A and B are shown apart, each in its own frame.
Chain A
Amino acid sequence: MLSVRDLGVAFGAVQPLSGVSFAVGKGETLGIVGESGSGKSLTAMSVMGLLPLSGGRITGGKVEFDGQDLTKLSERAYRKLRGGRIGLITQNPMTSLDPLKKIGPQVDDVAKLHMGLSEQAARARTEEILGTLRIPEPALICERYPHQMSGGMKQRIVIAMALAADPDVLIADEPTTALDVTVQAQIIRLLDDLVKERDLALVLITHDMSVVAQTCDKVVVMYAGRAVEHGPVETIFDRPRHPYTQALIACIPRGLDEATRLTGIEGTVPTVVNYPSGCPFHPRCPRAEAICATDPPGFSVEGDSAAACHFAEVADAQPA
């Protein structure tokens, strides 16, 4: 449904994103996982065609959606697509909603704009969508203002807006980061159900490997503006081949399994202005050799998965 090939992005002279590839099909959930500054949100912005707003531009690669290359799309055509066939859910529901407008009209507007529905038809659709999101008494909620609702409820409204125009692809950028764990579980379950019921393609951007493990079919691991490993979620967790993926998995506490001691990754996450040369992970990598500092590694493919590492021979499956 949506495929990205070798995407690169530049802001002036800095190149915060390069060589990012992934593909996601109907009824499939793809996770993009990485730490702060890894470029995962920027990837979402590029796909949504929102880069020009912040002064960035795509320098290379393709973003294919339903057979057409989005990088060549005009702004006018993009506007139709955005919020229409591609829905976006952002991290902070507080800033995605207009505080001065009631919930009903905010959701109605999307359907009116993208589907050309009348006032009444749009409202009927809004109430139906709110119902499928398990929001009790949709008609009543439509008359409320955002500040009268809890964080989890607001996030549901944002999801409703993303769904209003019946999209094929949903991009969710850290949709649960601002929420409490019990509410996170509700939202994750909701997204899971939506993917199955509506045959959606979901791109889930997150920093949380546990969320990926729970929900995704495929995963792209990003580090310092590059995709370092991608593949089916079971393979990535069972036999991670990139040292960064291995380290990232070893960083997650497993409460019940006390035998494994948490091992952090030495050093700090690089920022855009000081991305290392060669393999971006080499300064923190336990396996790095001279070549890693000079040559950016290509992808070593094995089965469905690929790792960008000079030494991507099958490593010991580290996680339990």
Chain B
Amino acid sequence: MPNLLEVRDLSKRFTSAGGPFRKARSMHAVNGVSFDLPEGRVIGVVGESGCGKSTLARLILRLIEPSGGAVNFDGDNLLAKSPSQMRKLRARMQMVFQDPYSAIDPRYTLTRAVSEPFEVQNVTPKKPMAEEVADLLEMVGLNPGLAASYPHQISGGQKQRVGIARALALRPSLLVLDEPTASLDVSVQAQIIGLLEDLRTDLGLTYLFISHDLSLVKYFCDEILVMYLGRVVEALPETAAPARHPYTRTLMESTFEPDPKKRRLIAPLEGEVPSPFDLPPGCAFADRCPNASALCRTETPVLSTETGHAVACHHPI
């Protein structure tokens, strides 16, 4: 399959201006991220808070302007596009957001929310708009009878379905899913994940799935990128691949199985994700890493496939 999305060395540096009583500070929210997303595949990006996974999603869609790197979508270099060209292209790359509760304008009925993509892109649907809206609502498992409802009249799971219907209205090829179930109950999360799986096969969609939940990513995705403090530290080519980066292993060991028989002695890693501002040189994980050597504190490891799948570690497991 050809690559639908190619990301090269994508970076974003945020700076806060200094003042008389404050130092100017900067952070690399996303630092040199590269990967290929072939058509029809699902890549999961997993990491803890502050690892830059949500920023990465917005850089790819150019909702945040990158500081450097390249994003090729279906052969087009997105960063070279003018604002109006970009607006056109957006029809083909959509996003589902983490917070369904604020993802729909509170003054819009579901009909208006779901037909807005057509209005914005100036596209006339093949069928009459009311039918098109009903079809879209049905496609995401909503009763078309809800079309006249306002967002405050429906549940969180239903709102997220509306968000998906809006994103799919113009039949995009790429869907970026930014923690689409993180604010939903587990029983509703499972519904939404099931729906996304069905839509993927029915519509031939390609997904980039952002999540903090490793078991969910393992369940849902074909490949996994593990991020830590703005960098990809490991790229698992398949979900069952063994962890080779100490951080990935920690993440896996911190994720519990829903089975009391698989209970294990947790030997947790001490410490927490450090502040992303003004990081010391070397590997960002070195302070928490059981295998860290002097080299790790001076030289930043780069992603390398020398010893198997891509891992950014001086001492891979």
Residues of chain A having any CB pair with chain B under 8 Å: 35-36, 134, 150-153, 180-186, 188-189, 192, 207-211, 213-214, 233-234, 237, 247-256, 258, 261-266, 268-269, 319-320
Interface pairs A-B: 4 shortest CB-CB? A255-B218, A264-B191, A253-B219, A264-B190
Residue B250 CB within 8 A of the other chain? yes
Whether the pair A189, B266 counts as a contact (CB closer than 8 A) is yes
Query: How many angstroms between the C-alpha atoms of A180 and B273 in the bound complex?
Result: 9
Whether the pair B190, A180 counts as a contact (CB closer than 8 A) is no
Whether the pair B185, A35 counts as a contact (CB closer than 8 A) is yes
Residue B126 CB within 8 A of the other chain? no
Whether the pair B261, A234 counts as a contact (CB closer than 8 A) is yes
Whether the pair B258, A252 counts as a contact (CB closer than 8 A) is yes
Whether the pair A181, B188 counts as a contact (CB closer than 8 A) is no
Residue B214 CB within 8 A of the other chain? yes
Residues of chain B having any CB pair with chain A under 8 Å: 48-49, 155, 157-158, 185-194, 197, 212-220, 239-240, 250-251, 253-264, 266-270, 272-273
Contacts of A211 in B (CB 8 A): 256
Query: How many angstroms between the C-alpha atoms of A186 and B273 in the bound complex?
Result: 13
Contacts of A249 in B (CB 8 A): 258
Whether the pair B258, A237 counts as a contact (CB closer than 8 A) is yes
Whether the pair A258, B191 counts as a contact (CB closer than 8 A) is no
Whether the pair A269, B188 counts as a contact (CB closer than 8 A) is yes
Contacts of B257 in A (CB 8 A): 210, 213-214, 254
Query: How many angstroms between the C-alpha atoms of A143 and B312 in the bound complex?
Result: 38
A80 to chain B, nearest CB (A): 35
Whether the pair B185, A213 counts as a contact (CB closer than 8 A) is no
Of the candidates B191, B214, B261, the one having the most CB atoms from chain A within 10 angstroms of its own CB is: B191
Query: How many angstroms between the C-alpha atoms of A180 and B247 in the bound complex?
Result: 13
Q: A234-B260, A237-B259 are in contact. List 10 more A-B contacts (CB 8 A).
A: A36-B185, A180-B48, A189-B268, A213-B257, A253-B220, A255-B216, A255-B239, A256-B240, A264-B190, A265-B188
Query: How many angstroms between the C-alpha atoms of A234 and B264 in the bound complex?
Result: 14
Query: How many angstroms between the C-alpha atoms of A19 and B188 in the bound complex?
Result: 25
Residues A209 and B186 in contact in the complex (CB < 8 Å), given A185-B268, A261-B194: yes
Query: How many angstroms between the C-alpha atoms of A249 and B212 in the bound complex?
Result: 20
Residues A269 and B272 in contact in the complex (CB < 8 Å), given A214-B263, A253-B215, A256-B240: no
Residues A182 and B268 in contact in the complex (CB < 8 Å), given A233-B260, A234-B261, A265-B191: yes
A197 to chain B, nearest CB (A): 15
A156 to chain B, nearest CB (A): 11
Whether the pair A263, B186 counts as a contact (CB closer than 8 A) is no
Whether the pair A186, B185 counts as a contact (CB closer than 8 A) is no
Query: How many angstroms between the C-alpha atoms of A254 and B190 in the bound complex?
Result: 12
Q: Is the interface of B mostly helix, strand, loop or mixed?
A: helix
Query: How many angstroms between the C-alpha atoms of A234 and B258 in the bound complex?
Result: 11
| CB contact between A264 and one of B192, B212, B240, B255 (< 8 Å): that residue | B192
| CB contact between B190 and one of A213, A237, A250, A319 (< 8 Å): that residue | A250
Whether the pair B259, A213 counts as a contact (CB closer than 8 A) is yes
Contacts of B189 in A (CB 8 A): 251, 264
Selected A-B contacts with CB under 8 Å, 5 pairs: A153-B272, A181-B254, A182-B48, A214-B263, A269-B188
Contacts of B261 in A (CB 8 A): 234, 237
Closest B residue to A207 using CB positions: B186
A283 to chain B, nearest CB (A): 13
Contacts of B188 in A (CB 8 A): 264-265, 268-269
Closest A residue to B247 using CB positions: A182
Closest B residue to A223 using CB positions: B187
Contacts of A248 in B (CB 8 A): 186-187
A304 to chain B, nearest CB (A): 14
Whether the pair B212, A263 counts as a contact (CB closer than 8 A) is no
Contacts of A150 in B (CB 8 A): 272
Query: How many angstroms between the C-alpha atoms of A14 and B37 in the bound complex?
Result: 52
Contacts of B212 in A (CB 8 A): 180-181
Query: How many angstroms between the C-alpha atoms of A269 and B155 in the bound complex?
Result: 9
Whether the pair A182, B251 counts as a contact (CB closer than 8 A) is yes
Query: How many angstroms between the C-alpha atoms of A213 and B215 in the bound complex?
Result: 15
Query: How many angstroms between the C-alpha atoms of A181 and B253 in the bound complex?
Result: 10
Contacts of A256 in B (CB 8 A): 218, 239-240
Contacts of B263 in A (CB 8 A): 213-214
A74 to chain B, nearest CB (A): 38
Residues A254 and B219 in contact in the complex (CB < 8 Å), given A35-B187, A180-B49, A269-B188: yes
Closest A residue to B239 using CB positions: A255
Whether the pair A151, B219 counts as a contact (CB closer than 8 A) is no
Residues A268 and B266 in contact in the complex (CB < 8 Å), given A210-B258, A254-B219, A255-B215: no
Residues A213 and B256 in contact in the complex (CB < 8 Å), given A181-B214, A189-B268, A254-B215: yes
Whether the pair B256, A253 counts as a contact (CB closer than 8 A) is no
Query: How many angstroms between the C-alpha atoms of A247 and B189 in the bound complex?
Result: 12
Query: How many angstroms between the C-alpha atoms of A209 and B189 in the bound complex?
Result: 14
Contacts of B49 in A (CB 8 A): 180
Contacts of B259 in A (CB 8 A): 213, 237, 319-320
Query: How many angstroms between the C-alpha atoms of A133 and B253 in the bound complex?
Result: 21
Query: How many angstroms between the C-alpha atoms of A311 and B96 in the bound complex?
Result: 40
Contacts of B185 in A (CB 8 A): 35-36, 207, 269
Whether the pair B218, A182 counts as a contact (CB closer than 8 A) is no
Whether the pair A185, B254 counts as a contact (CB closer than 8 A) is yes
A34 to chain B, nearest CB (A): 9
Query: How many angstroms between the C-alpha atoms of A153 and B274 in the bound complex?
Result: 13
Contacts of B192 in A (CB 8 A): 264
Query: How many angstroms between the C-alpha atoms of A255 and B264 in the bound complex?
Result: 17
Query: How many angstroms between the C-alpha atoms of A261 and B196 in the bound complex?
Result: 12
Closest A residue to B158 using CB positions: A268
